[in-house]
């Protein structure tokens, strides 16, 4: 298991297309290391529910049927990273999604220690198969890992297929990823804390590979200043 050195946070960004397994692996790593997993979906729901200024802006945008803009997302993530539970580190799942968001994250990381970026690589035919079979909890909305057979391990709700994993939608989602999110890989790939792992393995093997990659990337010789 990755060991966190005293005073040095484990700050991790998960990259990869839909179906790569980012959420599952981020949840595992966060739970094992006692740091929060932060997803933009969760952040948006929490911000809207709590009625913050940024949450109200996000709610108005979503109700108008538009994508939440970079400025709102960056502001919400910035608010989340100010909470004390992120001091030992965090795992970001779903942020950044654009190069401007990635650049803003660099600014948010000032004084917080190194940022480790993990890209999960999975063949597209495997992604299509996974997305077609993926399920979520119909009650709390959490993504279901493979070990959950019929019921949600979080709240006991019934597992259902995601509406955005339909056959016609999946291909479009992958196209959007290649067009809008892959440039982030280029943004990060030259950094000494960037790691690429094979996500087309059994979940436990991916977990072990991710842990090794983060351990190596967060070693003292790899630390960089942004």
Active site residues: 22, 97, 134, 162, 173
State the first-to-last Cα distance of the chain, in angstroms, to the nearest integer. 26
Read out DSSP for 131-175? Answer: HHH-EEETTT-PBPPTT--SB-TTT-PBEEE-GGGSHHHHHHHHH
Burial of 15 (C-beta count, 10 Å sphere; 0-12/13-18/19+): buried
Partnered with residue 118 across adjacent β-strands are: 14, 195
Residue 111 three-state SS: coil
Distance between CA atoms of residues 208 and 63, nearest Å? 41
């Amino acid at each position: 298991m990755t060991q966190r050195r005293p005073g040095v946070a484990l700050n991790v960004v998960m990259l990869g297309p839909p179906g790569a397994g980012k959420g599952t692996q981020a949840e595992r790593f966060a739970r094992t290391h006692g740091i929060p997993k932060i997803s933009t979906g969760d952040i948006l729901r929490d911000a809207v529910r709590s009625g913050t200024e940024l949450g109200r802006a996000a709610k108005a945008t979503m109700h108008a049927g538009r994508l939440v803009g970079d400025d709102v997302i960056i502001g919400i993530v910035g608010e989340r990273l100010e909470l004390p539970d992120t001091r030992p580190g965090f795992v970001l799942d779903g942020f950044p999604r654009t190069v401007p968001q990635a650049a803003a994250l660099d600014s948010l990381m000032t004084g917080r220690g190194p940022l480790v970026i993990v890209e999960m690589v999975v063949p597209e035919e495997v992604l299509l198969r996974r997305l077609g079979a993926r399920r979520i909890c119909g009650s709390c909305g959490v993504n279901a890992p493979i070990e959950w057979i019929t019921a949600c391990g979080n709240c006991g709700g019934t597992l259902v297929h995601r509406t955005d994993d339909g056959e016609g939608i999946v291909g479009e989602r992958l196209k959007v990823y290649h067009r809008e999110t892959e440039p982030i890989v280029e943004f990060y790939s030259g950094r000494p804390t960037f790691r690429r792992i094979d996500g087309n393995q059994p979940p436990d093997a991916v977990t072990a590979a991710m842990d090794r990659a983060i351990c190596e990337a967060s070693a003292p010789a790899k630390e960089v200043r942004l």
